[in-house]
A and B are shown apart, each in its own frame.
Chain A
């Protein structure tokens, strides 16, 4: 039987004492008492000792209890505050009037007569007053009153006794050698072979170690990286660009009418300064006013170039998509972007003024609406959303438009993003002649669904313990 040095020392002392306390043994072995309890526990697991745990409850005065012990209970203080009788109104000015009057009546110290409180003459020390002095010896009903009035609290104290068993005695008499145990092996002991003669200390494998917190990537970034990997695997090129955009690229190039409310300061963060219009802006103007060279009627009215020069924080990553397309009008183009976008919204658990958006575009000679549905199914499928369905949607810059929904256990069908084919009004000014499939997705919304978050702020103003305790592999996905 393998015993640690401390177990052996305790066992040998137990042979002399038969029964002992951890405190007594702690002094002898020069160890803390709770360590002795632990050694005793290890011996008892092996049947060599017995550890008995007794719990005793004692009543301890609360702060209020101690105060009243000194100054008298409220009913006593109240009783002493007037002579033979007083009016209830006068009594009410006393700080203890409320609680004191009830108890005085219950104890029979006073009577109420015609709105007056009159002393009965009998106001001997009550059982509670006596109990407050010695709560532990008070009768059970008084203890109950003391507890109910919050004058005392119960405190548990645990005591251990350790005694030797027959088996322990037998082992001790067979002889125990107190050779020292080795904790950390040294280089010398390993190379010299001295380790062969050492007794290596055993560890308690049931006791969890102090947690070790590795450096790691933020759970939300891991999810973003998963989406990036899926799109890269599907052959998409990643875009990245400025978070500052001209209204031209953010709205006008996307055929958003100039009087659209979303453009205004109410909904969009505007910044000082103007952004120059790019070459070819006149075609966008023509598109708005009359539909340019397409079959479109346009919005009519006058398009104001000054309005298009406003500087905004991008409200969607579509402003990057259209600039990428304008720079690459020849097919094929497959590109995506995951980036932060800005909406002038007050912060609450599900709305933030900034959040991530994912957007993918595919431009090629023969791509069509069914292909768009195909991409959506494929992407959501790879994200782990097996059931996807589609219903009509509306976005100012796509036609046809579609809103994909995914099925989530417990929630049912959940709308997740939007998609469509870029309107010809959007693509034609840049000489793009092929259809452009596009879809977008609120990344933080997926994070909420995936990680079960109820407050989006957790992603950006994270509790470090949440990051520490969110496993890298979450629900089997990595």
Chain B
């Protein structure tokens, strides 16, 4: 989640309240305070609330929450004569563009920092790293309308931001830091998106970099916004958040005509809220008037429209309001979570343990009774531990992770015994004897099963100990078994046996092969047991995903 830095002075000025009151209430409108610094507070807002990614947006919400100014902000949009044409050749490249003009801004340093912050956050959250949406803010007075958004060849050149020489689009993608970061979004396209003015001056090469020409400074008075992207809804969301932020900062918005469509549309959307439904979901008993009052605190326009209905005007920047329940949540937040009494319902139900876990509990009883200590190794492992060190062939049914994060975790475990041996390696300096066990999930061919493994190490660990332990286990599990010669290469030949149940191999026990011990760097003999629980208790065969 993006972190927004809120400078106290600017925040206090916009809010009309003091920093302590604001900081105290910030978590209650839905945020995590990251750190409180001397002249600013850094706050993490939820990804759904893109309208709070600027000091202006936070101030707007806080004024309502603190009761300083409630209800919706009204956004006037006057027409400008500025037009944009969008070229057909961008249809499969980056077809959507949103634009608006903001006049008479008075950008001090803090406002510029706030504007850059909201731009960055929108790039990240709405723009998915600029792929879906990218934003450009320009000094309008440096260029001449009408503007043109079209697909250009890579040989076109202009002076990009932070440079003092002309570069071709190809050079920008190769050499400019922003080019290296974002060229992957467009570099395979037949043409590059470009915005230029009536005189052929380049404003922007979206989604990569603006031109130096239209750089926004503290002396910029009139701004042109361009928001380009591949998803129209996301483009318009970003445009509305930007426009309303700049209006709150003191600017006047003017519309732009893009291929004949007038934008931005900053009018609220309307919803009728059903009062009983809202109260049912929240467990409250608010009247229509009370709900309207609370929603005004949350900066909605709201008025009673009958005993059971509230007509709500949802501000255009609230892209997160998709459903009535989203408004109900704001009723709860506006009322204050601390004012909602926690209360248990009368739902009657009896508890039931899952059979897999009931079996696991019984197994823990048996194993601890045998003097074994439980361990809980990872379920992600690797070929080396799982097979190579065990002198076993890799199991073709093992599930391999497509993009492992390290060599340690490349597959989902198919056996437990190797992980116990690995733990004995970690603990080789600890007092002997060591007897450990684990029961848990393994995955074979997309199916999750349970296994049980035990390992014992001390100077006298041998086949007899493994046999006696396996025999006790099977007795306590209530399952009769026979033994058969085992050929498992992880054990010493002649000192290992398979546990046979109803003619099927359900497990193996014996003395671990010294070659295996060498590979695990274990110095003492180890006796081990591994049992397939789903073969012993077929009724528990795990549900498929």
- A residues contacting B by CB (< 8 A) are 213-218, 220-221, 225, 228, 231-246, 249, 259, 261, 265, 269-273, 275, 291, 294-301, 311, 313, 332-334, 340, 342, 344-347, 352-354, 362, 364, 366-371, 373-378, 389-394, 399-402, 415, 421, 423-425, 435, 459-465, 467-468
Contacts and interface: CB of A to CB of B under 8 A. Distances in A.
B42 interface: no
B368 interface: yes
A301 B545 contact: no
A429 to B, nearest CB: 14
A368 B373 contact: no
A375 to B, nearest CB: 7
A300 B55 CA distance: 29
A373 B336 CA distance: 13
Contact of A225 (B46, B129, B324, B361): B361
Nearest to B320: A394
A244 B446 contact: yes
A217 B402 contact: no
B322 to A, nearest CB: 5
Given A238-B357, A241-B545, A464 B373 contact: yes
B283 interface: yes
A245 B368 contact: no
A429 B77 CA distance: 40
A217 B368 contact: yes
Contacts of A249: 545
A424 B323 contact: yes
A291 B47 CA distance: 20
Top 10 closest A-B pairs, CB basis? Answer: A394-B46, A368-B283, A370-B283, A392-B30, A232-B351, A400-B329, A373-B342, A296-B323, A238-B354, A242-B545
Contacts of A221: 364, 374, 376
Interface string B515-545: 0000000000000000000000000001111
B326 interface: yes
B323 A291 contact: yes
B341 A370 contact: yes
Nearest to B426: A461
Given A242-B447, A311-B446, A400-B329, A232 B353 contact: yes
Contact of B542 (A242, A347, A353): A242
B325 interface: yes
Contacts of A367: 345, 347
Interface of B: 27-30, 32, 46-49, 128-129, 132, 231, 233, 271, 280-284, 322-326, 328-329, 332-333, 337-338, 340-345, 347-354, 356-357, 361, 364, 367-380, 399-406, 408-409, 412, 423, 426-427, 430-431, 434-436, 441, 443, 446-448, 542-545
A214 B374 CA distance: 11
Contacts of B370: 215
Q: Counting chain A CB atoms within 10 Å of each CB, which of B350, B357, B369, B406 scores highest? A: B357
Given A221-B376, A301-B233, A271 B402 contact: yes
A264 B357 CA distance: 32
Nearest to A310: B402
Nearest to B232: A300
B324 A374 contact: no
A244 B399 contact: yes
Given A370-B341, A392-B28, A392-B29, A244 B443 contact: yes
